[in-house]
Amino acid sequence: MQHTVSSKTLIKACVSAILVAIAVLITLILPAEYNIDPTGLGHKLGLTVLATPFETPVVNNAEQSTKDEYEVIEVLVPAGRGVEYKFSMQQHDKMSYEWLTDGPVLFFDLHGEPQGDTSGYFESYAIATLDEMQGSFTAPFTGSHGWYWKNESDIPVSVLLMVKGQYEVLGLKQ
């Protein structure tokens, strides 16, 4: 005896599966992987602990090396303030990056400052207001290169920054 499934039943099953997948993504995967918890359930279940930020590596003056794997860094941008996160790069070094926020859009300026320059000169590579971006760049000069993010909202915003390439982490610029 052969059973046939009606189109209506098949559509209901597909819609149900999509809704369950969305619920799992929002309540379990985002809190556990990216510390993005729109419902608060991830925190109550202890899932946000799994996405604890990686500590910023200590900067050493060793020769720069190429990182073939993405390094994941979390940067907290306080409400109504801006922060700058920098990397030391030699001329022609390459970096691939991706970053995303856990909330509102941020104004940002991806830029570099030449090593030893005291005039305040910097060169901007990208300026926009976004909640995520990915790309790559080649350092046009030796110096510090990185992002300035400004949070114009009234809540702190976490930026998940993923980088790989030729650089040494300088971290938050004071």
Could you say which DSSP state residue 4 is in?
-
pLDDT for the residue numbered 55: 42
pLDDT for the residue numbered 44: 77
Q: What share of the chain is helix, strand, coil (3-state, %, to 5)?
A: 20, 45, 35
Residue 65: pLDDT band with limits 50, 70, 90: low
Residue 54 has pLDDT above 50, yes or no: no
Residue 120 has pLDDT above 80, yes or no: yes
pLDDT for the residue numbered 40: 80
pLDDT for the residue numbered 58: 40
pLDDT for the residue numbered 50: 66
Cβ atoms within 10 A of the Cβ of 79, count? 12
Q: Minimum mean pLDDT among 46-50, 77-81, 141-145: which range?
A: 46-50
Tens digit of pLDDT for each residue in 95-104?
999 999 998 9
Helix (H) or strand (E) holding 146: strand 143-150
> Mean pLDDT over all residues of the chain?
86
Q: What is the CA radius of gyration of the chain?
A: 21
Tens digit of pLDDT for each residue in 154-173?
999 999 999 999 999 999 98
Please state the pTM of the whole predicted model: 0.62
Could you say which DSSP state residue 25 is in?
I
